[in-house]
A = this chain, B = another copy of it.
Amino acid sequence: MHDFRAPGDRMTEDCGVFGLFDPQKALHVAEICYFALYALQHRGEESGGIAVSDGQTVRHIRAKGLISDIFDEETLAQLTGHIGIGHVRYSTFGGSDPINAQPLVARYRGGTLAMAHNGSLVNAHCLRTQLEEMGAIFQTSVDTEVILNLLARMKNMGIEQAVLRAMQPVRGSYALVLQTQDQLVGIRDPFGIRPLCLGRLGEAYLIASESCAFDAVGATFVRDVRPGEVIVIDQAGLRSFQMPTPLSSALCIFEFVYFARTDSVIDGVGVYAARKAAGKRLALGDDVKADMVIGAPDSALPAAIGYAEQSGIPYGEGLAKNRYVGRTFIQPEQGMREVAVRTKLNALARNVKGKRLVLIDDSIVRGTTSKKIVDMLRMAGAREVHMRISSPPVIHPCHFGIDTATSEELIGSTRTVNQICDYIGADSLKFLSREDLLRTVEDSGCGFCMGCFDGHYPMAVEGDTQDISLIFDSEEEGI
């Protein structure tokens, strides 16, 4: 991640998606995809791609690297058309072969289909095995190819019916953007685990993982895509269908804790406001005596500002981040290892010396980075370091698209709060409670998945066995 933390000591999101349908064929569709994906880059840095259809042909380019590395004026100019989708991806399996990059593009009996997916299926293996039994071959290792195969087998029933039927056996989290030659489709899973929203730019509709993508291209936020909603956009306009949904939705609360950009608004809640509110709630009833509140840059700054405002302790900066962090970087040799964190982050010694600090961070995964920061602040002369975390301890792995460590590697899973405090060397340590975290997003009115904090997942994580033959029984219909 574009972050000072060591690899592994971070929850990492796995994808960002975007789509655009321009009925008037007047916009630079590929360029808008480029800038939108640039705004969503924080959701995935490993690979990316754009597919554009002109109604006849779907052209696509995808590769490893950041969006700004993959595309230039020349490559964007090759992607002509009025319907575009794009994808940024966190991790690539399968080595240097970029075949796992998205969007996936396939020809099938109905024409050409391109698909970009954020999320993770819990029953992918079960579905994949059944499809293989039916003769399907899989050229990638991404779940998206499973959905693509299910869709391709729907017959003569129109895209809405095809989607509704094909998604029946699919369990897991998915925010999908799908492109046929002449349609753009957005699908959000019935629990609404991953975010997806709808925007407008003149006559054109846009779909994106986060609203910041709309701001980046001068578009307007219209509304969130609802859990279980299927949105179809074509020359005739926008149509919406609903898949069966559970009583309660389960938006991933970590979007507010860390993943999403502060300028995004998700399911009615501003990300910045939620983070600042988390800081305020941390301060309520916290009677620590301190001279300054500082945040771990950049993600914990809103919570630090909130904590300072609530507590009356002055806000300040105690850590300077090297602005070149995130670039490829040599690994320091043995004997210079401790230098590694410091080259990314440095204490503002003059500003922390002799002071009692409240240090805010958004979460603790393995604890190694927190330990190094506390140590760095002490060496810079801080008198006391009271660590406050604007979310509960991460205790359980995520099964819905977030790359967490295994339970054993999660410090919250193996140690008590006091033991963690000892480990990281802070004078005191407090986490925001589960209830307080929920209160920071209560304006949304939707439900949340807090599985990584409490182990309560919205569905069985092994996935139940779904017999996909049931969705293919009817032979009369089709896309």
Contact = CB atoms under 8 A, between A and B. Distances in A.
Given A97-B60, A108-B137, A263 B320 contact: yes
Interface stretch (A281-289, A301-309, A458-466): A301-309
A382 B133 CA distance: 57
A28 B335 CA distance: 9
B97 A339 contact: no
A38 B347 CA distance: 16
Given A78-B95, A97-B62, A99-B99, A35 B343 contact: yes
Nearest to A219: B339
Interface in A48-106: 59-62, 66, 68-69, 71-73, 75-76, 78, 95-99, 104-106
Nearest to A76: B330
A299 to B, nearest CB: 10
Contacts of A324: 2, 38, 41-42, 66, 68, 326
Contacts of A62: 97
A78 B97 CA distance: 12
Main secondary structure of the interface of A (DSSP, over half): mixed
A66 B217 CA distance: 29
Given A138-B107, A309-B314, A31 B272 contact: no
A139 B326 contact: no
Contacts of A149: 135, 137
Given A99-B99, A113-B137, A139-B106, A218 B327 contact: no
Contacts of A106: 137-139
B343 A317 contact: no
Given A107-B137, A134-B135, A343 B42 contact: no
A111 to B, nearest CB: 10
A152 B136 contact: yes
Contacts of A108: 132, 135-138
B42 A329 contact: no
B78 A270 contact: no
A314 to B, nearest CB: 6
A104 B139 contact: yes
A39 B345 CA distance: 10
A156 to B, nearest CB: 11
A261 interface: yes
A320 B261 contact: yes
Interface in A328-342: 328-333, 335-336, 338-339, 342
A299 B97 CA distance: 36
Contacts of A129: 109
Contacts of A126: none
A316 interface: yes
A122 B276 CA distance: 51
Given A270-B350, A298-B323, A322-B39, A330 B137 contact: no
A234 interface: no
B336 A71 contact: no
Nearest to A270: B350
A34 B467 CA distance: 44
Contacts of A137: 106-108, 113, 136, 148-149, 152
A203 to B, nearest CB: 15
A189 B146 CA distance: 33
Given A107-B138, A322-B38, A351-B272, A61 B263 contact: no
Contact of A96 (B75, B263, B308, B322): B75
Contacts of A136: 108, 135-137, 152
A369 interface: no
A345 to B, nearest CB: 9
A349 to B, nearest CB: 7
Given A76-B330, A108-B137, A298-B323, 6 more contacts: A38-B343, A212-B320, A215-B349, A261-B320, A263-B347, A263-B349
23 contacts: A28-B333, A32-B336, A35-B339, A38-B324, A39-B346, A59-B95, A60-B95, A68-B329, A105-B139, A107-B128, A107-B138, A108-B136, A135-B149, A215-B346, A216-B339, A218-B339, A218-B342, A261-B320, A265-B349, A272-B348, A276-B351, A301-B317, A308-B315
